Each structure stands twice: as C-alpha cells, then as structure tokens.
Structure 1
Amino acid sequence: MKAMRNGCQRATQPADLNRFVLERLNAGDVDGLVALYGPDEVLIVPTIRAVGHREIRAAYEQFVAAKPEFAAGETQPAIRNGDLALTSVRLAGGGVTVEVARRQPDDTWLWGIDQPSLR
C-alpha cells in the first residue's frame, strides 16, 4: 500500500477501499474518507447524493457526527474490467454495498461511484 500526503494509506487493490472506509468511519476520520474518492466522484446514501470532495466531505461530517460503530461485512471479490472494478460487501444486517472503483495513473484505486447501503 502507498501512503498519501495526509498520512492515509492508498488502495493498491480495489478491495482495500472497503477495508479503509470501515476503519475510517469507525475512527471518525472525515479527511481519510474523502481521500477514498476522486475529485468529481459520487456518494449516494438514502437521503443524500453527494458529488465531488466538498459535498462528500459534508455528507461524511454529518454522518460521523453521531459516532456510529460499524462491523466488518463479507467483502465480495472485486470484478475488474481494465481500469474499473465493481466492489461490494454483504452487511451483517442483510444489506449490501455497491461501489465502482477506478484505477488511478499511479496504479492506486479510488471510488468513482459509492452506494453504501442497498436492500
């Protein structure tokens, strides 16, 4: 894994993103969460559609303010096609996450589209 400017690790595999988001959510690390997305990417949660770092930051600031604790789900194998990968996690409560990751020029991965909870 590669280190980022802010000290966070960068994903060298698409599945790293799922682990990093869980760690950073539980730590309340908004900067680290935002760093998992490209600058113009999309986060979709039940009541929010956030596009770009500024809106994604605002969504995560609101979300982590309640200090929720998340348990690891069952990470599914990434489905890769060139510079894109579909990632997902089966959640303990029966939900599932769905994300599209994009390979970056430095061979690390960032999420392009993230919908963290589907039923």
Structure 2
Amino acid sequence: MADALEIDALWEDFHRVVNMTSAELASWLRVRGADEEVEPLPDQAGPPTGRHVLAILQKRRTDLTDDDVRVMHRVVDTVGDLVDMENEPEPERTSEDTRRRHRLMTLGHDPLKP
C-alpha cells in the first residue's frame, strides 16, 4: 500500500471528486440497477465500481485496503477525464451529456451539484 502521505492526498482527492453522499449514491445505484422486471437487492445494485465507491464512502481512512486505493485512483482519474470533457464549450445539451452525467453519477460525482 502507498505511504500515509499518498493515502492522505488520495483521500482528499477522492472526496473532492465524489460529491454525492453515500445515501445519494446508494439511491442512484438502485435506480440505475432497476429495470421493468426486477429490482436488485440494495447491496447488489449498480456496477461493481459504483458499489465499491459506496463502500469506500462508508469507511474510515485507516480501514482502506489496497483494492480500495486502486479504485480510488481509478475514480479520481476517470472523473477528472470526464469532467474535463464536460467543460468543453458546447452549444446545447445532448443525449451524450446525459450519458456522461449518468456515468459520473455511478462513480459518485454529480456534475450538476455545486
């Protein structure tokens, strides 16, 4: 695992980009995981990375595993890349913007939140 200073910096970056609360993310994952015929159990809703982000939000920094650290790095990088694309000027909102927002929300980042 990375040293304490690296973990502290990653923890701050992760909580900066993950701007949804654990309750908001859990609710979003349940909505995204439901379809017309079946609704998954709450702890099985959403993609694995979204569930892992939710689990990390419910942990203390001292309880992080190596796997948590890998996921946190991936989320920080992915959100950073998608938010950069989102900040490019576009004349109007498109369905691609909606898909991008939904992907970001699955990682715990709602681009419409201040």
- Band of TM-score, shorter chain: under 0.3
Greater share of residues in strand: 1
TM-score, normalised with respect to structure 1: 0.24
